[in-house]
Amino acid sequence: MTSDKSPLPDGYNEHLRGLTKAIESVRDTLKTDHTLTTDQQMFARRLLYLANEPIKEAKSLLPEPNQADAATDERSSSSASDYMELVTQIEQELCWLIRSLQATQPAAHHYDEPPAEKFTTALEYATALRDILPSVPEDSPVLADQADLSLKEVDPHVGGRGDGDGRWLEYQLERALGRWGYRADTRQHLFSLEVDIVATRREKQQEPSDWIVAQCKDWTSDPITPAVLFRLCTVAFACRAMPVLCHTTELTPRAEQLAREFEVRILDLTDLERAELPTPQVARPTAEFREWRPQYRARDDRGSIPWMFYNEPGKRFSYVPGFTPVGKDADYEPIESDRDDDTHPAAGH
């Protein structure tokens, strides 16, 4: 497909960088903005995520911009505290990219979907931010000058609530797992229990994370409680797979502690953009500055199994048979060191 790619329009890199900076500014501001309700925060973050996905897909279809052009880019995004200016800038940059690519890109049959259409999809989600952020007018002055630009109306309260029944977040995690090398299925059953996602690596890496069970909580305000963690860990032990919790809310302090001690991978929407499956959180920041006490480690502080079982063979913390924890972080090693290299450590256990 390389030979079919046309030169980028003049100014492409400049406008793309301005778009990226504006999106990051909105995302960073949302993290520290306590004036928005929980629903407004969650829906705004989700719309940014949905806008950013087609932008990344469009970038992957187009040639890499000239490095000399990138070095001369001196554009700066709007103030991070002004949602109205930032949303307007996002719309302006996307409209420029759409118009420029419509005039220069090859015919649509060269792509599954032309880059201009992917930027149009991003614009549909970005404009929906106007219905969520109270300080941003609902009518866009940018789109008022783009009467011939056809946009689908996007429900700003996308997926996951009401009729969505949580499937939106499950779909996003399923997509991320596919990118991380897994084959995933949703809405599976462990006997009488429903499991949101089960996944297995296409090419095994001889690690416990070759198998995953995941639970998705696409909630607006209710926090994640220990009961959610206990259910997930029970399913993980029964399936002999590593547990993953993907959520859009907060964890109670006790649930956060249990997630560390039971080595549950906790993912939010930004984690789904990473290049590989994140590892469990096993440490935490200190409250003091220059504190020289030993660092907290979940494996050190979680205690042990009952002493009556401690010295019995096979009694160890491990979701996946054939592995034993090693070190203070989240590493495991095979129990049997004399196995064949082609045999998975979990085989026969």
The predicted-structure confidence for 186-230, as pLDDT tens digits, reads as follows 888 888 888 999 999 999 988 999 999 999 998 877 889 999 999
Residues with Cβ within 8 Å of 44's Cβ and at least 6 positions away in sequence, in order, are 26, 30, 36, 129, 132, 133
Contact partners, residue 56, CB within 8 Å, separation at least 6: none
The string of pLDDT tens digits covering residues 298-341 is 677 777 778 787 777 777 777 887 887 777 777 778 876 645 55
| Torsion (CA) 341, 342, 348, 349 in degrees, nearest 10 | 60
- What is the model's pLDDT at position 81? 52
Residue 105 has pLDDT above 80, yes or no: no
What's the average model confidence in pLDDT over 265-288? 86
Task: Tell me the sheet residues that pair with 243.
Answer: 213
| Top-tier CATH class for 163-349 | alpha beta
Cα separation of the two ends of the chain:
47
d(CA 250, CA 268): 10
Span 259-268, average pLDDT = 92
Per the DSSP assignment, residues forming a β-bridge with 190 are 193
Of 324 and 156, more confident: 324
The pTM assigned to this predicted structure is 0.59
